[in-house]
């Protein structure tokens, strides 16, 4: 009996130390980024290798193309990070990484360096952005609705469930988006969200290097971007650095104790104001940046340099891999601002033509301006963001058309918002909108009043900034946010086979929907040709008697926009008051009606907008 025990012990020892078995123990399950590019402007990058006990090995690279500068072991032995320096930046190549113990190689992988072809074009006030929630727009491929290994089954009857929309569905309707006059597409996040529920919106990423199979594959996303480019549409990718989904593979096998901040019970205070507030307490700032957004979204600790670099490289990878034109960064004020600045700087270093848009969901102009690069109010802080989301203007437009004129109400709300533009570096870089995937639908905000709706749309497309339209706002989609996000993210009618209505076509839309669609389409397509609106300056005159007049102008051209917010009365506006800007112009052409107008005196009906090209 004793002999058998000794024999068994010896056998176990021999088996345990056998090179073959150890090699099996060190299987590599992930290498990220999936590849890199030899000719990036920076010649250094970092590779994450994930595998059983990989951190206990010694990585070795024998290559003339690259050198291994250093490796980083973590608390969890299943992770190792390798700092690589690229020596030959002229050619694509591949190199072998061996993971050794003594003289034995326990695992190895081959890593590819390609040659990059930067194509990012960025966006500007010349563009009109169309925002699509891919799950809710169109189901172009029903076969990918519930693939194997995906936790949440598609269920179109559940407002908070996965409905099956995908990239193919968006691609099938690019003509529709172009017809409306959009020039850029912003998709809510398309990376994997393999969560047990609420997996449709995209903001709970479970794999930063993989598109959600229900949207499409990495390859089909890349092809989608190419197709958009061929059709003259730019693509803006939605990214999230503040958090991931709780089903993310790193959450299941934590790299280190400090990879995420605190715990699910410590929630953010959601007050982005504390970042710029000179009187803010450290505890409020800590709660803002280290508190979790929701309990199912672990909060990344970007003060850990490995976390920071992992996220930054991820965005560089998608820019180069997919050829996107811009990034819309979710929850911009929630991660540490210094990290966000590093991210912005590194992206712009690699892609000087790129545009970074930060979601700055802040109530006041000064807080918003703080996050725009070059703002006079940001002090020493430079976010490197060109563009921020203009929530102050959103709040003004949401209520302005519902209100009578008071000292600060009605059209004065618009006026006062613009009067604070001196706080921005360039308010013309602000992304402006009437609604989005988190807000009441605009048609609902204005009480489903088509006249107020038209005022809003006409205003959005002629004021300063980069207009963004949320899908189906052009067909009067209603929706209250407080009833649940499913109510503001309904399926586009006609996006699914068998839908009763197909609002993608003129004949499929109702009379009212066509009125709205045609109205937006006319102004949006005219806008593309209008230098004063897309590139010019703005001059406005104090609202009077429920009317507001502003001009968009260049040296040689001018567009006059008149809003009458009165509920029952038309207005006749004598234009002598605007002499300083109208001097030299003798006639006007109104865009919406397509008619000439007498510009010495403007007659405007109740609750309406006029957009007048001034002629010499």
- Residues 447-506 interacting with Ca ion (rule: CB under 5 A): none
Of the listed 359, 405, 440, 474, which one is catalytic? 359
Cβ proximity to Ca ion: between 216 and 245 the closer is 216
**Can 145 be counted among the known catalytic residues?**
no
DSSP of 79-127, one letter per residue?
Answer: EEEEEEEES--SS-EEEEEEEEETTEEEEEEEEEEE----------TT-
In terms of Cβ atoms closer than 10 Å to its own Cβ (0-12, 13-18, 19+), residue 67 is middle
| Rounded CA separation 322/363 (Å) | 34
Which positions from 83 to 122 touch Ca ion by CB under 5 A, shown as an x/- string? ----------------------------------------
Cβ proximity to Ca ion: between 141 and 390 the closer is 141
Identified binder of Ca ion from the candidate list 33, 164, 291, 532, rule CB under 5 A: 164
Is residue 290 a contact point for Ca ion (CB under 5 A)?
Answer: no
**Can 171 be counted among the known catalytic residues?**
no
| Rounded CA separation 298/244 (Å) | 6
Report in angstroms how near the CB of residue 215 gets to Ca ion at its nearest. 8
Is residue 139 a contact point for Ca ion (CB under 5 A)?
Answer: yes
| Rounded CA separation 223/217 (Å) | 10
Q: Verify cis geometry, omega within 30 degrees of 0, for the bond prior to 415.
A: no
- Sequence-distant (≥ 6) Cβ neighbours of residue 282 within 8 angstroms: none
Report in angstroms how near the CB of residue 495 gets to Ca ion at its nearest. 10
Give phi and psi for 45, each to the nearest 5: -155, 175
Report in angstroms how near the CB of residue 305 gets to Ca ion at its nearest. 39
Residue 218 Ramachandran class (φ > 0 left, ψ -120 to 50 alpha, else beta) = alpha
Identified binder of Ca ion from the candidate list 124, 125, 138, 144, rule CB under 5 A: 144
Report in angstroms how near the CB of residue 263 gets to Ca ion at its nearest. 36
Identified binder of Ca ion from the candidate list 127, 135, 145, 590, rule CB under 5 A: 145
Cβ proximity to Ca ion: between 61 and 151 the closer is 151
Residue 448 tokens read as 């489903």
The answer to whether 497 and 560 are in contact (CB under 8 A) is: no
Question: What Å distances lie between residue 54 and 3, 13, 188, 311, CA to CA?
Answer: 36, 21, 35, 21
Of the listed 171, 207, 238, 330, which one is catalytic? 330
Applying CB under 5 A, the span of 156-164, 359-367, 509-517, 560-568 interacting with Ca ion comes to 156-164
The answer to whether 489 and 201 are in contact (CB under 8 A) is: yes
Is residue 135 a contact point for Ca ion (CB under 5 A)?
Answer: no
Identified binder of Ca ion from the candidate list 32, 127, 152, 166, rule CB under 5 A: 166
- # binding residues, Ca ion (CB under 5 A): 6
Is residue 141 a contact point for Ca ion (CB under 5 A)?
Answer: yes
Is residue 220 a contact point for Ca ion (CB under 5 A)?
Answer: no
* Positions marked catalytic: 330, 359
Residues near Ca ion (CB under 5 A): 139, 141, 144-145, 164, 166
């Amino acid at each position: 009996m004793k002999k058998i025990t000794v024999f068994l012990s010896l056998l176990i020892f021999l088996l345990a130390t056998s090179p073959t078995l150890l090699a099996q123990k060190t299987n590599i399950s992930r290498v990220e980024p999936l590849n890199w590019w030899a000719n990036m402007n920076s010649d250094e990058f970092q590779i994450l290798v994930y595998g059983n006990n990989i951190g206990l090995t010694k990585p070795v690279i024998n290559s003339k193309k690259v050198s291994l500068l250093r490796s980083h072991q973590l608390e969890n032995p299943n992770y190792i990070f390798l700092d690589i320096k690229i020596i030959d930046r002229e050619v694509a190549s591949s190199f072998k990484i061996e993971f050794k113990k003594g003289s034995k190689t326990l695992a190895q992988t081959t890593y590819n360096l390609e040659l990059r072809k930067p194509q990012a074009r960025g966006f500007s006030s010349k563009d009109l952005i169309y925002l699509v929630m891919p799950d809710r727009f169109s189901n172009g491929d029903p076969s990918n609705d519930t693939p194997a290994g995906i936790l949440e089954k598609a269920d179109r009857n559940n407002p908070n469930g996965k409905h099956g929309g995908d990239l193919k569905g968006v691609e099938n309707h690019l003509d529709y988006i172009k017809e409306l006059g959009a020039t850029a597409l912003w998709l809510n996040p398309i990376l994997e969200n393999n969560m047990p529920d609420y997996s449709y919106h995209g903001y709970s990423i479970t794999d930063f290097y993989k598109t959600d199979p229900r949207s499409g594959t990495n390859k089909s996303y890349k092809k989608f971007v190419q197709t958009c480019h061929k059709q003259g549409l730019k693509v803006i990718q939605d990214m999230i650095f503040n958090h991931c989904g709780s089903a993310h593979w790193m959450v299941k096998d934590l790299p280190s104790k400090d990879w995420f901040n605190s715990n699910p019970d410590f929630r953010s205070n959601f007050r982005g104001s504390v970042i710029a507030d000179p009187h803010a307490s450290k505890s409020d700032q800590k709660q803002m940046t280290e508190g979790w957004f929701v309990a199912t979204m672990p909060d990344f600790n970007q003060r850990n340099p490995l976390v920071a670099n992992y996220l930054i490289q991820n965005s560089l990878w998608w820019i180069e891999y997919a050829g996107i034109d811009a990034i819309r960064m979710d929850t911009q004020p929630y991660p540490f601002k210094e990290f966000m600045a590093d991210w912005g700087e590194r992206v712009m270093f690699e892609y000087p033509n790129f545009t970074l848009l930060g979601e700055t969901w802040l109530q006041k102009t000064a807080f918003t301006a703080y996050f725009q690069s070059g703002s006079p109010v940001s002090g020493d802080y430079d976010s490197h963001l060109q563009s921020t989301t203009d929530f102050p203007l959103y709040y003004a437009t949401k209520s302005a058309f519902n209100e009578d004129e008071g000292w600060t109400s009605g059209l004065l709300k618009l006026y006062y918002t613009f009067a604070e533009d001196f706080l921005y570096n360039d308010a013309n870089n602000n992304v402006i909108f009437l609604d989005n995937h988190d807000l009441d639908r605009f048609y609902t905000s204005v009480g489903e009043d088509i006249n107020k709706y038209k005022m809003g749309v006409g205003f959005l497309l002629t004021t300063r900034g980069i207009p963004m339209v949320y899908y189906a706002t052009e067909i009067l989609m209603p929706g209250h946010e407080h009833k649940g996000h499913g109510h503001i993210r309904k399926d586009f009618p006609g996006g699914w086979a068998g839908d009763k209505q197909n609002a993608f076509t003129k004949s499929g839309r109702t009379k009212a929907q066509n009125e709205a669609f045609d109205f937006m389409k006319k102004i949006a397509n005219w806008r593309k040709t209008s230098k004063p609106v897309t590139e010019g300056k703005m001059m406005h005159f104090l609202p009077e008697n429920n009317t507001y007049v502003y001009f968009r102008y260049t040296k040689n051209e001018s567009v006059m926009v008149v809003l009458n917010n009165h509920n029952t009365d038309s207005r006749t506006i004598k234009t002598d008051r605007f002499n300083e800007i109208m001097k030299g112009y003798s006639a006007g052409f109104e865009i919406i009606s397509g008619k000439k107008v007498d510009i010495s005196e403007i007659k405007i009906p109740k609750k309406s907008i006029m957009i007048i090209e001034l002629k010499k």
